[in-house]
Amino acid sequence: MSLSPVRLRDVALAAGTSTKTASRVINGDARVATDTRHRVQEAVDQLGYQVDLMARSLRKGVDDTVGIVVPTIGDPFFAKAIEEIEQMALPRGINLLVASNSRDPKCERKVVDGLLARRVSGLIVTPFSADYSFLERVVTPVVFLDRHPNGMDVGAVIVDDEGGAYRIVMHLASFGHRRIALLTDDLTIETSRLRREGYVRAMLELDLPIEQEFQATWCVDAAQAEACTNDMLDLDHPPTAIFSARSETSLGVVRALHLRHRTDIAFASFGDFATADVLSPAITVIDHDPRTLARRAMEMLSERLDGAPASPVDTIVAVEVIARGSGELPALRAVS
Amino acid sequence: MSLSPVRLRDVALAAGTSTKTASRVINGDARVATDTRHRVQEAVDQLGYQVDLMARSLRKGVDDTVGIVVPTIGDPFFAKAIEEIEQMALPRGINLLVASNSRDPKCERKVVDGLLARRVSGLIVTPFSADYSFLERVVTPVVFLDRHPNGMDVGAVIVDDEGGAYRIVMHLASFGHRRIALLTDDLTIETSRLRREGYVRAMLELDLPIEQEFQATWCVDAAQAEACTNDMLDLDHPPTAIFSARSETSLGVVRALHLRHRTDIAFASFGDFATADVLSPAITVIDHDPRTLARRAMEMLSERLDGAPASPVDTIVAVEVIARGSGELPALRAVS
DNA sequence: AACACGCGTGACAACGATTACCTTGACATT
DNA sequence: AATGTCAAGGTAATCGTTGTCACGCGTGTT
């Protein structure tokens, strides 16, 4: 029935000690006589004993496990982040519980509660749009990744969304573009909102009009982004440059431009993607590496696990523009 | 200290029952009077009680958790597979422990042992190259995904690697190619080996020579694939068509071809990738959907959890060739 | 000589839920 | 009326490990 019928008591019996002493050996407690330690070690090896982590966790009150919640696991950005965190956790003997909130606020709370009920020692969460204030009453350390939670005033590990967007729009404009379109995901998502703010700031500073027709602010996937791009290009006065605020939507834009053979439209993407440098023209992007973000988050969580208090200050990861060609296409002289 | 100071005894106390009855209500046992059930329910809601899953798991002997082990989490193929499994597990209240074996046989055993020590109720494993015979003595159900384990004679959920590779090579040949190169990952990996076998079968059947110079059989990443492609193209008699047996390596091939502006070389990839249909020419691929594979694996695991015995028979998922252009480029007349 | 102290160790009680087993009373059956 | 059946609920043991406390012993201190 049992996974392995070998219990600590069996080890203790074989070594001729009490379970407590065997436990000490296993936990590397220094206060054990060398020869006793030896006998226990031998019994462990011979019997093939393995701790029952469930029992350990119950006794200790926490589980050596970190939970991570992201909107979608399949998104390459989050997949890479998960990978990085797993790599950092593994050597410390920490396991990773992965869950997605499925971009659904209802699901979101349930998923986090489920992880907490499992007594994870810590949590890394990319919030979607649920209210997270309930976490204030929870002692489990939580680090927020990529966005701030609603209803909670706490620091997060984020990238410079606003600044990056601002810079890339300025970049596009420096090639003569005045009609710059914006594609974003759902604006209730903080990253989308901030990137839009960067876009707006740049446009205002440049004294360029923010046309309603050039604002596609609800593209949740590549297909929608493609449709929106097509719509914009069909306008009487279409944009000459496009800024897509997310890798996923960028795929849609690229697809639309490609199918229409519009190699004259300038394009820049917030977020790199696999073949961005191989397309013709190669895609200019703002690189924001999920691994860096993840690493910072895990470091912060480790500190919290060691007792550091939650910081109200953000950790902001810088981003950089990678010019590859698509963002440097000049604006053609206006037709009108 | 505790996550939530509310224990089952508190609920029982508030409802005026024994913990046993409260437990019955929580576990949906029918043998509870409606009004008692009501009182307990109320106490649960009011106190905000949540089961301690650690305690439950210790008592029950298993944890409502499924572990998944893949070579690399960041690989889009496995990321999608993980996503699918998580989506299937969530509604059943099953959590997902994700771990990677880091393509390292030493790590592999440790990772699986760690998950078993956690008393997961089941395991889905994409084996790398460790010996898995130790699992024969383990009662936890394990389903193998994408490959068979070494040292164990058991069914797995796999795709038709050999057949798919065979078909795509025949496809390339039907456009006049005789000099067809092969790029694979490490051949100790079953998928790589089988895809190579499909290639070999096709070549033999077509009576085409299998040139050593056209076999790059150790491309673990895109960079190596790119280098190998460049080497081949620099040969005196380079290939006119290339078959890459893995998405990751395909990215390298695409990069090499693109940078050399070689739009004359035919190319096909085992495994689709994000912008394959947007490149010029668009990339012909063998589509093998990670979600389908994952779904089958999870279904099989569910059956095993319900007591079904391990099947020695494979579940083979069919694959299909998606012709997009790059694989239909004709062979130019030989120069010699 | 009395005392405190550190060390190695073990007995025992948690941790919080489930489960095997038991009691009780209501009702049906003979 | 006696008995059997079954629903509803309780008691105490238990899952495997670790923390608390106490013990015996040798040593250095006063």
> Residue B324: is its pLDDT beyond 60?
yes
CA distance B22 to B37: 8
A166-193: per-residue pLDDT in tens?
A: 999 999 999 999 999 999 999 999 999 9
Q: What's the CA B169/C1' C1 distance, rounded, in angstroms?
A: 96
Q: How confident is the model at residue A336 (pLDDT cuts 50, 70, 90)?
A: very low
Residues 101-160 of chain A within 7 A of strand C, judged by CB, are: none
Measure CB to CB from residue B258 to each of A63, A274, A278 and give the nearest one: A278
The segment with the largest mean pLDDT, out of A29-33, B37-41, B94-98, B105-109, is: B94-98
- The pLDDT value recorded for residue B156 is 96
Q: Do B57 and A54 touch (CB under 8 A)?
A: yes
Cβ of A90 < 7 Å from strand C?
no
- The pLDDT value recorded for residue A79 is 97
Contacts of residue B54 in chain A, CB cutoff 8 Å? Answer: 54, 57-58, 63, 118-119
Q: Do A278 and B279 touch (CB under 8 A)?
A: yes
Mean pLDDT for chain B overall: 93
> Residue B67: is its pLDDT beyond 60?
yes
Mean pLDDT for chain A overall: 93
Best to test chain B binding among A1, A95, A229 (most B CBs inside 10 Å): A95
Contacts of residue A63 in chain B, CB cutoff 8 Å? Answer: 54
Contacts of residue A73 in chain B, CB cutoff 8 Å? Answer: 79, 82-83, 86
B263-278: per-residue pLDDT in tens?
A: 999 999 999 998 999 8
Measure CB to CB from residue B278 to each of A75, A79, A255 and give the nearest one: A255
Best to test chain A binding among B59, B118, B285 (most A CBs inside 10 Å): B118
How far does Cα A6 stand from its chain's mean position? 40
- The pLDDT value recorded for residue A4 is 59
Q: What's the CA A8/C1' C6 distance, rounded, in angstroms?
A: 27
- The pLDDT value recorded for residue B149 is 95
- CA dist A62 to A58, A305, B62, B288, Å? 7, 11, 17, 40
Q: What's the CA A179/C1' C16 distance, rounded, in angstroms?
A: 64
Contacts of residue A98 in chain B, CB cutoff 8 Å? Answer: 82, 86, 96-98
Share of chain A above pLDDT 90, in %: 85
A19-68: per-residue pLDDT in tens?
A: 999 999 999 888 888 889 999 999 999 999 999 999 999 999 889 999 99
Q: Do B82 and A97 touch (CB under 8 A)?
A: no
Q: How close, in Å, is residue B336 to chain A by CA atoms? A: 31
Cβ of B18 < 7 Å from strand D?
yes
Contact status, residue A165 vs residue A179, Cβ threshold 8 Å: no
- The pLDDT value recorded for residue B45 is 92
- The pLDDT value recorded for residue B164 is 97
> Residue B293: is its pLDDT beyond 70?
yes
Q: Which positions on chain D have an atom < 7 Å from some protein CB?
A: 7-12, 14-20
Q: Do B96 and A93 touch (CB under 8 A)?
A: no
- Listed residue (B85, B166, B92) closest to B126, CA to CA: B85
Cβ of B59 < 7 Å from strand C?
yes
> Residue A96: is its pLDDT beyond 80?
yes
- The pLDDT value recorded for residue B336 is 41
Q: Do A95 and B79 touch (CB under 8 A)?
A: no
End-to-end CA distance of chain A: 80
Planar angle of CA A83, A85, A88, nearest 5 degrees: 110
Measure CB to CB from residue A74 to each of B3, B79, B273 and give the nearest one: B79
Q: How close, in Å, is residue B129 to chain A by CA atoms? A: 19
Q: How close, in Å, is residue B203 to chain A by CA atoms? A: 30
Q: Do B119 and A279 touch (CB under 8 A)?
A: no
CA distance B5 to B298: 36
CA distance B142 to B116: 10
CA nearest B135 in A: which residue? A3
- Listed residue (B201, B205, B225) closest to B215, CA to CA: B225
- Listed residue (B143, B195, B204) closest to B173, CA to CA: B204
CB atoms within 10 A of CB A32: 18
> Residue B335: is its pLDDT beyond 60?
no
When mean pLDDT is compared across A2-11, A126-135, B210-219, B289-298, the lowest value belongs to A2-11
Q: Do A1 and B139 touch (CB under 8 A)?
A: yes
Q: Do A119 and B52 touch (CB under 8 A)?
A: yes
Q: What's the CA A31/C1' D30 distance, rounded, in angstroms?
A: 28
Q: Which positions on chain C have an atom < 7 Å from some protein CB?
A: 7-12, 14-20
Planar angle of CA B319, B97, A288, nearest 5 degrees: 75
Cβ of A54 < 7 Å from strand C?
no
> Residue A335: is its pLDDT beyond 50?
no
Q: How close, in Å, is residue B51 to chain A by CA atoms? A: 7
> Residue A209: is its pLDDT beyond 90?
yes
Q: What's the CA B21/C1' C23 distance, rounded, in angstroms?
A: 15
Contact status, residue A294 vs residue A145, Cβ threshold 8 Å: yes
- The pLDDT value recorded for residue A246 is 96
Measure CB to CB from residue A138 to each of B3, B58, B115 and give the nearest one: B3
Query: Strand ranges (DSSP E) for B19-76?
Result: 63-70
A262-310: per-residue pLDDT in tens?
A: 999 999 999 999 899 989 899 999 999 999 999 999 999 999 998 899 9
Contacts of residue A100 in chain B, CB cutoff 8 Å? Answer: 83, 86-87, 90
Q: Do B86 and A97 touch (CB under 8 A)?
A: no
Best to test chain A binding among B95, B109, B120, B273 (most A CBs inside 10 Å): B95
Residue scoring higher pLDDT (A336 or B95): B95
- The pLDDT value recorded for residue B32 is 86
> Residue B308: is its pLDDT beyond 50?
yes
- The pLDDT value recorded for residue B265 is 97
- The pLDDT value recorded for residue A333 is 58
CA distance B83 to B298: 12
- The pLDDT value recorded for residue B270 is 97
- The pLDDT value recorded for residue A138 is 87
Contacts of residue B1 in chain A, CB cutoff 8 Å? Answer: 61, 139
CA nearest B2 in A: which residue? A61
A233-249: per-residue pLDDT in tens?
A: 999 999 999 999 999 99
Provide the b/e sequence for B202-214 (b: ≥16 CB within 10 Å): bbeebeeeebeeb
B4-18: per-residue pLDDT in tens?
A: 678 999 999 999 999
Q: Do A74 and B72 touch (CB under 8 A)?
A: no
User: Which contacts of B202-208 are long-range, i.e. CB under 8 A and separated by 24 or more positions?
Assistant: B202/B165, B202/B166, B202/B167, B202/B169, B202/B170, B202/B173, B203/B169, B205/B170, B206/B169, B206/B170, B206/B173, B208/B173, B208/B178, B208/B180
